[in-house]
Chain A
């Protein structure tokens, strides 16, 4: 009886493989030291502010604007990336053309290129006197030093998230499903719109969420191109940095807490949708 209860409540299943204690010990210590203690410090600091102070800091107009800009531009960039990321993944999976290998490898550039480098490079391109900016300036289109510039930087940063999430799922598409649609009379457009894209939806959603989450927190590639005008093109991470430099830790803490809560809530929602999709359709991403 006792043995049975013990096995019911057993922490881990028995195994002949050694090293569980050591491996888990190292993992947990490192996790607690590097991640959990610092993050809980942030949680503790923000709760120490007290609700009225926190609310006042979080609803400060400059903060609200900065959060709005960060989330808004990240959302717009993630949307653009969904469209072009899916097209890019499709082209890479389905078509053959010269230079495909290189393009495929280039997609990971934003993962590998330091964000500060990306930031100054994009600024050079899109500033009014830059390579592309100077072409657009006569048309009255301004990209750098406006929120559009932020969106452009976040498109750069987020692209691989969408492509790399969608691409493997596309590779696994069963060709017979497309053929089944065709035998039932669906033309190519109908097959793509009604059969293929809905099947990709969970992966696209995941890619969107990853790109969005990354965009909200992005700093290095944005600050050069954004112009950083308070209330207009100042992102939340930059406002945190400014508050830290002013030694205004409560304000910085409040902004950080709001960003983290919203980001985690987003991820939670996405995970829930994924789990639901897997239960219902038997697939997620």
Chain B
């Protein structure tokens, strides 16, 4: 920190000088204290509560809950949904970033805005649009029904809602990164006789791999944790269409708190792993991860 006392290595009257670009010692401590309290109250305590509540009746009950078949099926469904949604959005993200970052065309800014659209739509509405689309009142609803195709209150609907919600994650991580890197590497590869796919595979992909991983990480966290959108389309059929977050809700509403928090613990662990990996990526590969850190 350029502004810290330690960087003024001199033994002179540094406190006199520090008034130029830093606060009084007391103000500093006060602000740090305030920030720590806020983080403790709003971030650390809730996390601690999850683990504590899950272990309230000891680890025995914790593990009994986790070995319940319903829990197991919720975990399985969550993995399936994320396993479909994330790769789909990964392919989309790369395609969108390739088109937007490597080419100049009319309507590019508008396209970028459209890609960000799901961020400004309530998760509940994200789920609801699929009910309006595929429900029995809709245009294609009756047709789907007569052909025995089940989308709503089944895995396809959950996947669709999840894809909708996690749609922008990979793309918006890659676009600024690839824009920054420009096109000269690709042009060099092409001029040396590489094919388009070779150029992508051997030149572009190595350049963006850490940014890509970063986007996938965030996309996956959201895909596994999505609640509102999935809740609307899932129908809450126990053992069938409950993802882990939905299972948490059901257990909690049944006052089965320990079980709810036990499942929540798994999701919290997922969040912690995500955070650790994310921090590691930011620390080691900050230049290879796009500047845009918001979501």
Binding site for B on A (CB under 8 A): 11-13, 15-20, 22-24, 26-27, 30-31, 34-39, 41-42, 45, 84, 87-88, 90-92, 94-97, 101, 103-118, 120-122, 124-125, 131-132, 152, 155-156, 159-161, 164-165, 167-168, 175, 178-179, 182-183, 187-188, 210, 213-214, 216-220, 224, 236-238, 240-241, 244, 249, 252-253, 256, 259-260, 263-264, 267
B278 & A105 in contact (Cβ 8 Å cutoff):
yes
> Which of B59-67, B142-150, B205-213, B227-235 faces chain A?
B227-235
Which residue of A has the minimal Cβ distance to B101? Answer: A23
| Chain B proximity of A274: nearest CB distance (Å) | 13
CA distance A129 to B249 in the complex (A): 20
Can you spell out 8 A-B residue pairs with CB atoms less than 8 angstroms apart? A19-B200, A24-B99, A36-B114, A41-B138, A112-B274, A117-B248, A117-B271, A244-B232
CA distance A97 to B32 in the complex (A): 8
B123 & A220 in contact (Cβ 8 Å cutoff):
yes
Q: Is residue B80 within 8 Å, beta carbon to beta carbon, of the partner chain? A: no
B129 & A23 in contact (Cβ 8 Å cutoff):
no
* Known contacts A38-B129, A121-B49, A187-B19; A113/B268 CB under 8 A: yes
Chain B residues within an 8 Å CB radius of A236: 122
Which residue of B has the minimal Cβ distance to A210? Answer: B294
Q: Is residue B267 within 8 Å, beta carbon to beta carbon, of the partner chain? A: yes
CA distance A232 to B104 in the complex (A): 51
Chain B residues within an 8 Å CB radius of A92: 35
Chain A residues within an 8 Å CB radius of B237: none
Contacting residue for A106 out of B1, B44, B130, B245, CB 8 A: B44
B95 & A27 in contact (Cβ 8 Å cutoff):
yes
| Chain B proximity of A5: nearest CB distance (Å) | 15
Which residue of B has the minimal Cβ distance to A44? Answer: B132
| Chain B proximity of A284: nearest CB distance (Å) | 14
Q: Is residue B28 within 8 Å, beta carbon to beta carbon, of the partner chain? A: yes
Binding site for A on B (CB under 8 A): 1-4, 6, 19-24, 27-28, 31-32, 34-36, 38-39, 41-47, 49-50, 53, 88, 91-92, 95-96, 98-100, 102-106, 111, 114-115, 117-125, 128-133, 135, 137-138, 160, 163-164, 167, 183, 186-187, 190, 196, 199-200, 218, 221-222, 224-228, 231-232, 244-246, 248-249, 252, 257, 260-261, 264, 267-268, 270-272, 274-276, 278-279, 291, 293-295
CA distance A207 to B258 in the complex (A): 36
Chain B residues within an 8 Å CB radius of A30: 88, 92, 95
Nearest 8 pairs of A and B residues by beta carbon: A217-B122, A114-B225, A12-B105, A220-B227, A219-B228, A38-B129, A18-B196, A121-B46
